[in-house]
Structure 1
Amino acid sequence: MNKISSKHFMLFILGVSIISLKTYLSVFISIGGRDTWLSSLLAGGIFICFLLYIIKICKVTNTFNINEIFFNALPKVFAFILLGIFILALFVNAIEAAAVDANVIHTTLFIDTPVWYALIFFIAPSLFIFSKKLRTILIFVLVSVFTLIINGILFFILTQSYKDINNLLPVLGNGIKSNFFITGILILGGFSTFMIAMPFLKFIDKHEHLSKHSFYSSVITVAFVVVSFVGVITAFGPLRAANIFYPEFVLSQRIEVAGFLEFGELFFIIQTVVGFFIKYVLCTYSILIIFEKYLKNKAIFIGIYTFITFVISNFLSMSNYYLYDILKYIQIINLIAFLIIPFVVYSVYYIRIKNKNLHLTKK
């Protein structure tokens, strides 16, 4: 059965939108400082509006196939180019997921373990999932996202005693400067990765509650990200938080229960490994959905795709400093491919359909 519900789609959005922003928080704090959480709140508001706008256009035009929208909105050449950029961004995010996950494992727990070794245990299981149908993806996402949500809530509760709200003060103490908006733009790029899940829209059987459930998922996403920024800044202060590669890992090491249980790292590892694996799988599966009519040999495509991903991810994840520089540019790529281009394409498509309907009405 290749159908999903709008409630399931909520989990697809959560699965791709939260993990990156929540993992490498210091990339954004190093620019936005103490007020990064405010930048994330502003970016989150734009993200919610944009998501609802895209969903509304899909519902009004009754078109949920992303290929159909691109090719009916624009001339064929432009449609190929812009959809190609969209697909390339999906590939870049798959590489980011693999590279960051391997780098996290190598940096935090297994320093002596080569990055390529960690990548094998990340990429190899995905080959099994790619060979399955949508129902397997759905079950995997359901279980994994629920695990992430429970894990995140427990992590929030157990780390509350290690935070000092005074580290957030004074709010906007240095005024609103360019860094505030630059940070917001980069975070908006991270939020815009919800578009990774858009190719799955065509599998939704009933659309009457799609807007409502998409709104719920966007609010939950923004809440998780803002709380993460607030938590890290209140725990370490803006200066130290900006200079820790994975601040939530260090925060997790502080967790102590009943005076003898110290297992905080487990929360961060579950979050990172499961979260980025979800993102990697959905990025790749979205590419397969878009290429569905053009793939003559799926196995060969996945093999070449996996090999290229492995090579590039291994190169990126070997250096923390280099990886963190690249991550900033990835947010800009996301902003262009997942926000600006879809906004233009979906808007043009809506206008064309509206004009077509008006023309038919006059006749």
Structure 2
Amino acid sequence: MNKISSKHYILFILGVTIISLKTYLSVFINKGGRDTWLSSLLAGIIFICFLLYIINICKVSNTFDIKEIFNKSLPKVLSYFCIAIFVLGLFINAVESAAVEANVLHSTLFIDTPVWYALIFFIIPSLFIFTKKMRTILIFVLVSVGIFLVNGIAFFLLTQGYTDINNLLPVLGNGLSKNFFSTTLLILGGFSTFMIVAPYLKYIDKNQHIRKHSFYAGIIATAFVVVSFVSAITAFGPSRAANIFYPEFVLGQRIELAGFLEFGELFFIIQTVIGFFVKYILATYSILLILEKYIKRKSIFIGIYVFIVFVCSNFLGLNNFYLYDLLKYIQIINLVAFVLIPFIVFTLYYIKHRNLNTKKS
């Protein structure tokens, strides 16, 4: 059975929206300073509103196939162009997932491990999943995201003794500056990756509660991200947190239980490997869903695709400074591919659908 429920869709949304913002926090703190957590809260509110806007249009029009929405909203050539940009956004996020995951392993615990070697253990297992049906994807997401969420909650509880709330003060000490709003947009770019799982909407079996469950997903994702920013800033202060590549890894090293048990890095490694693998799988499988009518030989396409991802990810993961500079631009690309274009397309589709119903009545 290749169907998912609206409750399952909560985990699909969480699987792609949390991990990036939670992992390279310093990219955003470097720009937003101590008020980055407020920027993330504002971005989260916008993200929830936009998520509900997209879901509501699908629900009202009873259309959950994103390709149909693109094709009926725009002229044929323009719709193909917008779909191409959307697919490009999916591909870029797949590359980002592989590159950051390999870079994390290379930069933290396994310094002597080459990036390409880490990528092999990341990409090869994915070949098995790409050839399976939706049921396999569902089981994979349920198990992986479940572990990810439990791991994140445990990490939060174990690190609260190493934070100082005074590092958040003064709140809005610089006022609502240009950096505050630009940081909000960058974080919104991270949240906008929920559109990665938009192609899975057509597989939802019973969608009468899709609005409510999507709202729950938005609340949970926003809470995880805001708490992550608060934890990093209160643990290190804004200046130090902005200059650590992976703040939660360093924060995890502080965890100590019973005076001798130290294993905090394990939480970070688990969340990174699982989180980015889920995002990579869902982004790539979305590409396969969108292009399924145009792919004649799926095995050859997957082989070429995986090779390109491997080459690009290996190149990006070699240099931390280059990777972190590029991550800012990826958020901007996300804003275009996953916010601007879908907002225009879905709005046009809603207007056409409403006008059509008005004429019929």
TM normalised by structure 1 equals 0.99
Match of 1:14 in 2: 14
Q: Distance in 2 between matches of 1:294 and 1:72?
A: 19
Q: Distance in 1 between matches of 2:36 and 2:87?
A: 30
Match of 1:190 in 2: 190
> 1:293: Cα distance to partner?
1.3
* Local SS of the residue matching 1:261: coil
> 1:44: Cα distance to partner?
0.4
Match of 2:51 in 1: 51
Q: Distance in 2 between matches of 1:300 and 1:184?
A: 40
- Listed one character per residue, the Cα deviations across residues 199-256 of structure 1 (whole Å, up to 9, x for unaligned) are 0000001111000000000000000000000000000000000000000000000000
- The letter for the 2-side match of 1:55 is I
Q: Percent identity, please.
A: 73
Q: How many residues align?
A: 361
Q: Distance in 2 between matches of 1:353 and 1:173?
A: 47
> 1:55: Cα distance to partner?
0.3
RMSD: 0.4
Q: Distance in 2 between matches of 1:117 and 1:93?
A: 20
Match of 1:214 in 2: 214
Kindly indicate whether residue 73 of structure 2 is the aligned counterpart of residue 73 of structure 1.
Answer: yes
Q: Distance in 2 between matches of 1:106 and 1:291?
A: 33
> 1:98: Cα distance to partner?
0.1
Structure 2, unaligned runs of 5 or more = none
* Local SS of the residue matching 2:108: helix
Match of 1:263 in 2: 263
> 1:278: Cα distance to partner?
0.1
Kindly indicate whether residue 210 of structure 2 is the aligned counterpart of residue 205 of structure 1.
Answer: no
> 1:167: Cα distance to partner?
0.2
Q: Distance in 2 between matches of 1:340 and 1:47?
A: 13
TM normalised by structure 2 equals 1.00
Match of 1:127 in 2: 127
Match of 1:314 in 2: 314
Q: Distance in 1 between matches of 2:350 and 2:284?
A: 28
1:39-118 equivalences under 5 Å are: 39-118=39-118
1:102-251 equivalences under 5 Å are: 102-251=102-251
Match of 1:335 in 2: 335
- The letter for the 1-side match of 2:162 is Y
- Listed one character per residue, the Cα deviations across residues 20-58 of structure 1 (whole Å, up to 9, x for unaligned) are 000000000000000000000000000000000000000
- Listed one character per residue, the Cα deviations across residues 66-100 of structure 1 (whole Å, up to 9, x for unaligned) are 00000000000000000100000000000000000
* Local SS of the residue matching 1:243: coil
Match of 2:38 in 1: 38
Q: Distance in 2 between matches of 1:357 and 1:295?
A: 35
* Local SS of the residue matching 2:113: coil
Match of 1:28 in 2: 28
- The letter for the 2-side match of 1:326 is L
List structure 1 runs of 4+ shifted beyond 2 angstroms: none
